[in-house]
Structure formats: C-alpha cells, structure tokens
Structure 1
Amino acid sequence: MGEGKKRKWEMPDTYVILFAVLLAAVLATYIVPSGAFEREEVGGVERVIPGTYTQTDGSPAGFMDIFLALQEGMVQSGELIFLILFAGGAFEVIERSGAIRGGILRAVALTEGKEFWLIAIVSGLFALGGAIGAVANSVIPFVAIGLIICRALKLDALVAVAITFGATFAGFNVGFLNPYTVGIAQTIADVPLFSGMGLRIAAFVVIVGTTIWYTWRYSRQVLKDPARSLVGILDEDGGDEDALSAPFTVRHRIILLFTGVALAFFIFATIRFQWSINHMAAFFIIIGLGAGIIAGMNYNKLTLAFMEGCKNLVYGALIVGLARAILIIMENAQILDTFVQALSVPLESLPPVLAALGMFVSNGILNFFVPSGSGQAMIAMPILTPLADMLGITRQVAVQAFQFGDGFTNSIFPTSGPLMASLAVAGVAWTKWFRWMLPLFFIWVVIAVIMLSAAVLINWGPI
C-alpha cells in the first residue's frame, strides 16, 4: 500500500454552495429573532410599509423541514423552472437547424477583409443573443469559431474569447429580453414583464458599443505590433477552415425571421394583454415547434432536439427550486423580514442613489458564490424588493441593480462556469484574461453607476 495522495481542493459546485446556505438558513432560525413588516396593497401590488417592523413568534426549522423545503421550493418555482426548460428546448431546436451558426458565419463572410466590421458585427450578434437569452452557456462551442476567425486575421486567442464569450455577456449584462434573469427578477418583484425596456436597450447599446471599441482597440494594437499580444498570435496552420463554411440557407433566414417576429410579438402582448411568465413559457414551445417545422425536422427529430435542450438546462433550472427552498425556510420561521430590516438600517441613512449602488455591489459579491443568474434572482429579489420599497427606490431599479451585479462579474469571477470553459477552449489562462478584462470591467461599472443613478433620479418605474 503506497502513501495516500492528498486530495486536491476543488471549488464547491453551485448546488453544494446553495445547500450550505440552506443549512445556514436553518441554523439562523434558531439564532435570528422572528419579525415581520406590515404590508399594504397599492395598485394591486403588495408593498412593505416602512417603520412597521415588529418581532413575532416564529418556529425554528427541524430536520424534516430541510427536505420538505426542497420539495416545496421546486413546486413553488414550477412556472420558472419550466420557463427555463422550454426556452432551452426552443433555442436548441433553432441551434440544431443551423440557423444561428449559419447566420454568424454569413456575417463573417460579408465582412471578410474588413477587420473592424467583422469584430463589430460578430460581437454585436453574440451580444444580442446574450440579451435575449438565446446564447449564454451555449456560447462555449462558438469560441472555437472565434479562434478560426482570429487565426485568419492574425490575432490572438484573447480576441477570440472577447468576440464570443465577452460579447455574449456584455449583452447578458442588460438582458432586456432575457427570460432567465430579468424575466424571473421582474416576476418576483411583481413588476410588469419586460417593462422598462427602453432604458435597458439604451444601456445595451452603450455597453456593447464600449465592448466592441475596447476589443477593436486591442486588436488594432496587435495587428500593428504582434509583440503587444498578451498571449501570442495564433498559429495559422492550427485551425480547421472548413468550420467557417456552414451554409446559410433560405430556411435559416426564415427561422431567424420567425424567431425575431415571435419575440417582438411577445413584447407587444406583454404590454397590450399583460402576458405573464407562463405565457412566455408557452410561447417558447410555439417558437420551438415553428422553428423545427420550418427547418424540415420530422416529428421524432424535433421532439428529441427540444428534449435535449430541456435536458441541457435541467442543472440551471433546478437551482431555482433550491434557491427558493432557502427562502421558504426563512419565511416559515419569519426571519426574512428581520434580514430586510437589518439591511435597511445602514442603507436608510444614505441617499437613494447610493442605496441603489449598494444593491448593485452586494449582488456582484453574491455572484461569486451563486453564479447562476436565475438562482441568484430567486435569492436576491425577495430581499431587494421590500428593501427598495423601504428606501424609496422603485422595484424596476432594484431589478436592474440585481442584473448588473449578476452580469458584470460573470466575466471575471473564476466561479463562472461559462467563463472558465470558454477560456479552456481557447487555451487562455484566467490570469491573462483577468488582466485584459479588468479595465473593461471598470468601464462597465462606471456605465452602470451612471445608469442606476439616473434611473433613481427619474424614478424609473413602473412600481
């Protein structure tokens, strides 16, 4: 028998972290005093009445309550879980049709020899995909295409990651039509679904435009002097050029047009008919079926593609239920309002603008431990919603503070699975990426500070 090898420490999985938080919440039920705010209904929305917190009698959680909360969390989050699954199914069908890949490669072909426009258009397409939730974790295989593009341009692997992963999460930062983040956060905050889109689209244009400028600035330096590359120029003979020859057929064009029109109609329906998150989940089934039919898939292939997309998002979907279980433990023991009261004490003396920025920073920190956008929304928004009511901040601002806090740090935290996987595909060390990304990250933060400050000052609503 040889000497036992020392086990290498691994970063705990998101589920492990959330279960540890669940156990911490159970422990808190024995330590934290129970309490509650009085609430009133204003315009059909229940709101916290500031200054009405009083202590109550609560029951600490028992052993069986832990597992009952897990079951109840899944049940209560059913509509959000199935939204995530059905969206995954729909986007998988679109991806299997070849429309997304064909569209991106068509853009590459049209901009051949025009380096700036190639970087701008490819980055813009991925950013749009991130903003509507069509591309997030699924960006990872596209990094390989980014490598081929940058190899042809005599650029480096950092640019390949920037125009694929980096651009996707620049769009994800705002997520003006992202069902996994803004959609869930607004549902929890009882804010009309996808309301406030105008300001979010403006922020999207500024953030993505800045990201494209930053990427091109570095690319131009490398084109002029390859020695300025942080990771070295890609080997010209190391790629498969055939990967850039995927067709972009009439069917592909119709699929993308159909998807765009369908999403535009859904936006109209949320405004005109007050459609809810359940309508959106149902609408993704329609989008998946329509895209599959247009692509000419037979019924078995369409079904399997849709189910595969659902399967790929089971991991992220069930996180929502686990996160909800934490809140169920706190709500049953009546300690959630106690935490809200504790957070409000240091913030209530601050101007509303600084309080909103505090929400932004706190969510950024939370994202290190809970890198799932939908899971973080389930944990953060039930706390931020009453906190916003007490601090005189609209819930719309609270939703965006959450979104910025979650979105930005996905691009630098090593706990972000898509980031680390994308870097692995490109062969880029996290330290090199962090060095390149940090200035852009701070530019994003400045943009967020300006937007959130303006949003508070104009009382950005509704609610």
Structure 2
Amino acid sequence: MKKKKISFPTAFTVLVIVLILAAVLTYIVPAGTYAKIKYEPDKKVFTMIKPDTSTKELPGTQETLNKMGIKTEIGKFEDGSITKPVAIPGTYEKVTQTPQGFFAVLQSPIKGIYDTIDIITFVLIIGGVIGVLNNTGAFDAGIASLSRATKGREFLLIVVVTVLISIGGTTFGMAEETIALYPVLIPIFIATGYDAIVCIAAIYMGSSIGTMFSTVNPFSSIIASNAAGIKFTQGLTVRIVGLVIATIITIIYILKYAKKVKADATKSLIYAQKEEIEKKFLVDYSDEEAFKFTGRRKLMLIIFALTFVVMVWGVSIKQWWFTEMTALFLCSGIIIGVISGMGEKEFVNKFVAGAGDLIGVALIIGVARSINLVMEQGMISDSILYMASGAVKGMNSMLFVIVMLIVFLVLGFFIPSSSGLAVLSIPIIAPLADTVGLSRDIIISTYQYGQGLMAFITPTGLILATLAMVDVTYDKWLKFIMPLMGYITAFAVVMLLVETVI
C-alpha cells in the first residue's frame, strides 16, 4: 500500500492553530490593562478610559498630558497625528480573567472579516481589475515585451522592484497596497526565468525592509516618536544608513537565490509546483508568439500603472485610506473596460471572475485579524507589555537594547499593527530608556526593528495572504527567509549597539 505523502498545512490551518494557541493564552496569562486616553477633537477634551471601563473627561491641554507622564505635545493630538487611545504609564491593573472559549474562537474569524472589510474589499476590487486586464491580453503582450527588453539583464527587475517598494515602505508604510502587485509581477518574473519566490521576496521584503527602517513613515516613525515625546528626526540619520545597507543585503540575498534558480530550475524551493504555477500565471503566453503590443494595450497598461502613482500620491499626501484606494482601482477598472472595447456582460463576468480568484486571500486577511481580536477580548495584550517592560528595568544599556529588540519581536507577533503597537507600548517603554541613560530615539529604533523582523514570518501579518496567491506553503517561505532573517537580525543588533555609543 502506497503511503500518503504528508504535506504542510494550508495558510488557513496555520492561522487556526495560532488562533487556538492565542485562546489558550487567555487562560494562562493574567488579564490586565492600562488606563488609556483618547482625544475628542469636537469637544477638545481627553476621554480617559479606566481599567474598569469607566470613563472620565479631562481638559484637552498640555498640562493634562504632563500630569499623566505622557511626554507628547498636545498639538500632535489636535492635528490628528495621534488618533488611537494612548496608554498611560504606571496605570496597569489586573482585571477579571476573560478566557476565550470555544464559541469566542468560533466567532472570531467572522468578527475578523468584519473588522478588515476595508482591506478585503480592496483586494477583491483589485482582483476584478486584474481579471479584466488579463482578458484583454494586455498583460501577456506587456510580459513578452518586457522579457525581450530585459534579456540578459533580468536581475534589474529584482533590484528595481525591491528598491522602489522599499522606498514606499520607508516613506508611507507601503504594505497592504503591495497586494495589487503580485498578480501583475509574478508572470513577468516567471517569464524571465525566475520562480514565484523571487517575485514574492522582491515585493514583500522590499516592503518589510522599508517599514522596518522607516524614516518618515507616519504610521510608525512619526506616531511612535510623537508618543515618546521626541521629534521624528531624532535618530533619522542612523535609520537612513540602516535602510540603505539592509536593502543592499536583501537584494544580494535574493539575487543569489535567483541566479541559482535561473541556472537550474530544479534548485527552486517550489520546483514541484513549476508547471502548476506557470499554467496559472502564463496561460496562453508564449515568448515566441506573444500577443502584439498594440497601442490600445499599451494605453490600458499605462492607465493601470498610473493608478499606482495616484494611489501613492493619495496615501502619502492626501491621507487616503482603503475606501479611497478601492474607489480609485474601481474607476481604473471601468476605464480599462471601456478602452478594451469589451461588452458590458463580458466586463462584468471577467471582473467577478477576477475578484473570485482572490477570495481565498481576502478570507485569510480576516482570519489573521481574528487572532488579535481574541487576545484583545481576553485582555492579555497589555499584560504581555507590562511583563516585558518590567523585565528590562535597571539593565546595562547595551543589554537593554538587545532585550528591547526581543521584547518588540514578541509584541510584534501579538500586535502586528505598527500604529497600534506604537500608541500602546511607546508611552510605557520610552521612559525606561531614561533609567539606563539612553536617548528615547533608540526605543523608536528597537520598536521598528523588532516589529519589522517579526513581519518577515508572522502568520498574523500579510505573509500568509501573499503566499496564498501562488499556493506556496508557509514552510517553503520559512526555508527561504530564515537565513536572511538571521543576517538582518545581526545587522539590527549592530545598528542598535552603534546607537548606544554615538
């Protein structure tokens, strides 16, 4: 009798396992919370939310912040730089244990989908636009043209994509927005002789390195600096140097793997899926009989490319978020449909089919959010922060920064939102730097490096949704990324130690 081959579980199963472990923690970790304040711009007051859930209004003044030990300028609340509730140092209290049982776990994925409906809608609309474009043959013609243009210089694809997305990550926190790029770029990378992992690495790691070494990213650097009571320009030079070096390390690592795969396809970590992936992404594509790159097809691709340019402008300048970005892509899809000349019925059918292709990805995003909801409802996130902050008091400065990196690695797993982690943890942890004689900008660096490193692999982040687009299992990604994660971790430690002595 032939033995059935054991395969690595799907992304959904991995998330369910992590969800169950999170629920178990709500029985083990003591429940507790910090008091928090939230600014009410209409009333120009602070609302204090106490651990017992009672509320109290306080004057919306700098004096109120000073009394609570929050070293942040009132202007940061007034201009909308800080909108989420901020934890108040020294107010942690244990509360009644709220373990999350069977029914809470069962309901959490549904609540997670509700909670991420803006991202899910964004993903589905992008899928629809991709479906329409695929039907026009514009992608196939563009791929053929690009593969001919880069003949012999295919490595430039890796360099350009990684650098551009790294810039997007460091400036405005480009992360979820990259989901739109995978269906577009994976066929190009495959057609030039690489595998899907090379494309995933260039996009995902470009974003991850950029956000890890954020410079002017409003969702991490600026919010965290505001919460610490310092200017975001403090430590900026060091992080710029770190961004450049880390991006170079990442590109060299990806190029080394890509060169090996291009020379011998059997060296690919996903070689067993080669035919399946090519069939999915290169359907009807032939380098020798490629579709003609007509003026109409060029115009459709130009409009699609300009959509990303407008999206970057909107997010970075006009403070757009998912509603505006989704509307932008919907408008782009309709314009492309009109230019293509396809009928109304064909447009709708292709749009719906394209959206259907990404339903699995959309659901994974919702299920990943459910893990955070279980921990929030179990009241253990603040407890983990409290225990972590208590463990580093009075340490040697160099040991302190290394331990803080580990602390933020752990917190980054439980709280994958950069802005959420900043407003919760920085007001509590930043004052600890004072006790060991370090500048508070080092706390900003440890926060960014720790959460950034965890983003490489955490199932609660975007990586499983990304892998699901190509049906690549999590174990293959871990095998690829763990050596690079080791290199970047060592580099981050060196950067932190340098910061302690300059």
- TM-score tier (shorter): 0.5 to 0.7
Residue 442 (structure 2) pairs with residue 406 (structure 1):
no
Q: Structure 1: how far apart are the matches of 2:444 and 2:370?
A: 23
Return the match for 1:243 from 281, 287, 312.
Answer: 287
Distance (whole Å) between structure 2 residues aligned to residue 452 and residue 249 of structure 1: 53
2:37 counterpart residue number:
40
Secondary structure of the corresponding residue to residue 293 of structure 2: coil
Within a 5 Å distance, the mapping from 1:333-344 to structure 2 comes to 333-344=378-389
1:358 matches 2:406:
yes
Equivalent position SS for 2:192? helix
Q: Distance in 1 between matches of 2:456 and 2:128?
A: 23
Tell me if 1:391 matches 2:440. no
3-state SS in 1 of match to 2:125: helix
The answer to whether structure 1 residue 71 and structure 2 residue 110 are counterparts is yes
2:202 to 167, 184, 190: 167
The residue number in structure 1 matching 2:319 is 274
**How many Å separate the matches in 2 of 1:207 and 1:96?**
39
**Structure 2 vs 1, CA of residues 47 and 319 (structure 1 numbering), >3 Å: closer, same or farther?**
same
Amino acid at match of 1:19: V
* Aligned-partner Cα distance in 1 for 2:370–2:6: 28
Cα 1:9–1:160 shift into 2, 3 Å:
closer
Structure 1 residues 419 and 90 mapped into 2: Cα distance closer, same or farther (>3 Å)? closer
Tell me the TM-score normalised to structure 1 length: 0.65
Alignment partner of 2:37: what SS?
strand
**Taking structure 1 as reference, are residues 66 and 94 closer, same or farther at Cα in structure 2, changes over 3 Å only?**
same
Alignment partner of 1:51 out of 51, 65, 90: 90
Q: Shift in Å at residue 52 of structure 1? A: 1.6
The Cα shift of 1:338 comes to 1.4
Counterpart CA distance in 2 for 1:96 and 1:454 is 53
Tell me the alpha carbon deviations over residues 166-217 of structure 1, each in whole angstroms, 9 at most, x when there is no partner: 43444343477xxxxx99999x99x9xxx99x99999887666656656767
1:369 is aligned to none
Structure 1 letter corresponding to 2:424: P
Other structure's SS at 1:40 match = strand
Partner SS for 1:105: helix
Count of equivalent residues: 404
Letter in 2 for 1:124: V
Structure 1 residues 126 and 134, CA, compared in 2 at 3 Å: closer, same or farther?
farther
Equivalent residue letter for 1:61: Q
1:119-138 pair list within 5 angstroms: 119-121=155-157, 124-125=160-161, 132-136=178-182
The runs of 5 or more residues in structure 1 that have no matched partner are: 148-158, 177-181, 232-237, 367-374, 424-428, 459-463
Q: Is the 8 A contact 2:26 2:375 kept in 1?
A: yes
Alpha-carbon deviations, 1:100-131, whole Å to 9, x = none?
A: 4433432332344xx2x342146535875897
Instruction: Give matches, 1:7-406, under 5 Å.
Output: 8-41=5-38, 43=77, 44-45=82-83, 46-112=85-151, 115=152, 117-121=153-157, 124-125=160-161, 132-136=178-182, 141-142=187-188, 144-147=190-193, 164-174=199-209, 242-243=286-287, 245-346=290-391, 354=402, 357-358=405-406, 361-362=409-410, 377=416, 382=420, 386-392=424-430, 398=447, 401-406=450-455
> Which amino acid is 1:257 matched to?
I
What SS does structure 2 have at the residue aligned with 1:12?
A: coil
Deviations 1:361-394 (A, max 9, x none): 5589x6xxxxxxxx9846x875565224422378
Contact 2:372 2:415 in 1 (8 A): no
* 1:290-316 per-position Cα deviation (integer Å, ceiling 9, x unaligned): 233333333233323332332222222
* Amino acid aligned to 1:274: Q
* Contact 1:170–1:207 (Cα < 8 Å) also in 2: no
Q: Conserved in 2, the CA contact under 8 Å of 1:81 and 1:321?
A: yes
Q: What SS does the corresponding residue of 2:348 show, helix, strand or coil?
A: helix
Q: CA shift at 1:35, angstroms?
A: 1.0
**Cα RMSD (Å) of the superposition?**
5.3
Instruction: Give the partner amino acid of 2:90.
Output: G
In 2, the alpha carbon distance for the partners of 1:208 and 1:24 equals 34
CA deviation vs aligned residue, 1:128-162 (integer Å, no higher than 9, x gap): 58974333367555554133xxxxxxxxxxx5567
**Structure 2 vs 1, CA of residues 348 and 140 (structure 1 numbering), >3 Å: closer, same or farther?**
farther
Q: Displacement of 1:54 after TM fit? A: 0.7
Equivalent residues of 1:126, 1:164 under 8 A apart: no
3-state SS in 2 of match to 1:247: coil
Kept in 2: contact 1:119–1:212 (CA 8 A): no
- Range with bigger deviation, 7-16 or 344-353: 344-353
